[in-house]
Structure 1
């Protein structure tokens, strides 16, 4: 597993020692050493099955594979970087908020539920599982980690959601009232509700 470290809060440095790391396409800002870059493919480097599932669900992910020996630095749109360590568990994340994945991790697509009881529209999310470190992105400032417990479920604006980790059940709830207060009451308003035990990561800026 490649050491991931932060240079400040907006730059990820990865020390490659003959291995490889996958990162968001176009996120490399500098490197030294003998490093090669190639497209990880439609499935994000996780094979044909992952590629077909992403095509069917529309949950796209664009990753490049960086291999060799040296130090590679990644950043994207001056966003803050969050490092999340996985030890055999699963992280559910917005695909556009994935910056880099160590080589012990794999991605897949999971059904996230129906957006509203009446719409019947299915939504999907990217899952990251295995042993390693995932680097996530937060727009508008540092990411915020919110604890969820059985006694205290959490409701989140979907535009602020980055990722979730733990034994959590995610559902969609209609929540028109607060959007009406800020002048966004038109159309179907919904929020993400998390029940169970785990952590939800959000950003201080709406997409």
Structure 2
């Protein structure tokens, strides 16, 4: 049987060490000898002795936070020995290696899989207040390990060495050490032109030392805090939310 489909670029890639690898730009391969965490429903194929355990958002505390905020990553624990292939609606996949001391704030909708050695929590996005319908919360990862994130299209990584402003629906991840804020677009004179609006109601600002990853697509408001459905719950200065998200 002959076909271009069987060319070397489409054949399964083999590695000598276990871990998360790119099979291609839209397909993640996990060479499994132990366990890792993945988005529920992201498995497209596997070989070997592998088990999948649904975890919700990963622990009671994260489950409660997800219910209150709409944010989080519906997770499954993948265990065993074999090869597991994952994808998410043919989105582009990128690997990020975190070192001790690193912390990365990620839109939960863009998390595909990560090493179980990484710590994960849901945190308030600083400076958001009640201004943006894109949300108030993000997933923050820290520790030592690899994480796979998705983007719609090829992203740009902006080095934050000067005042930086991004559409909050296009910002998928950034250094957790950055200071963030939300601003009405009109204050940048982007509000109206000949009776028309720009469509950019809010702009997210970044300051400090770090980077922000921007995808060439504006997702519906469901990433930073899950479709803006629960923000009224966070309007108070105390109570359950204050306790849950206390750093």
- Shorter-chain TM-score range: 0.7 to 0.9
Aligned to 1:66: 78
Aligned to 2:218: 206
Measure how far apart 1:105 and its partner are.
0.9
Q: Is the contact between residue 131 and residue 182 of structure 2 (CA under 8 Å) also seen in structure 1?
A: no
Greater Rg by CA: 2
1:158 pairs, out of 152, 168, 172, with 168
Question: In the alignment, is residue 33 of structure 1 matched against residue 43 of structure 2?
Answer: no
Between Structure 1 and Structure 2, how many residues are aligned?
198
Query: Where do residues 71-82 of structure 1 align in structure 2 (5 Å cutoff)?
Result: 71-82=83-94
Measure how far apart 1:90 and its partner are.
1.0
Query: Where do residues 121-200 of structure 1 align in structure 2 (5 Å cutoff)?
Result: 123-139=136-152, 141-149=153-161, 152-165=162-175, 167-176=177-186, 177-178=189-190, 180=192, 184=197, 189-200=201-212
Q: Which runs of 5+ in 2 are unaligned?
A: 1-16, 220-247
Measure how far apart 1:56 and its partner are.
2.5
Question: In the alignment, is residue 90 of structure 1 matched against residue 103 of structure 2?
Answer: yes
Question: In the alignment, is residue 20 of structure 1 matched against residue 30 of structure 2?
Answer: no
TM-score scaled by length of structure 2:
0.73
- Counterpart-to-counterpart distance in 2, 1:117 and 1:175: 15
Q: Which runs of 5+ in 1 are unaligned?
A: none
- Counterpart-to-counterpart distance in 2, 1:111 and 1:50: 13
Moved more, 194-203 or 53-62: 53-62
- SS for the counterpart of 1:51 is helix
TM-score scaled by length of structure 1:
0.86
Return the structure number with greater strand share.
1
C-alpha change, 1:68 and 1:117, in structure 2 (3 Å) is: closer
- Counterpart-to-counterpart distance in 1, 2:124 and 2:84: 33
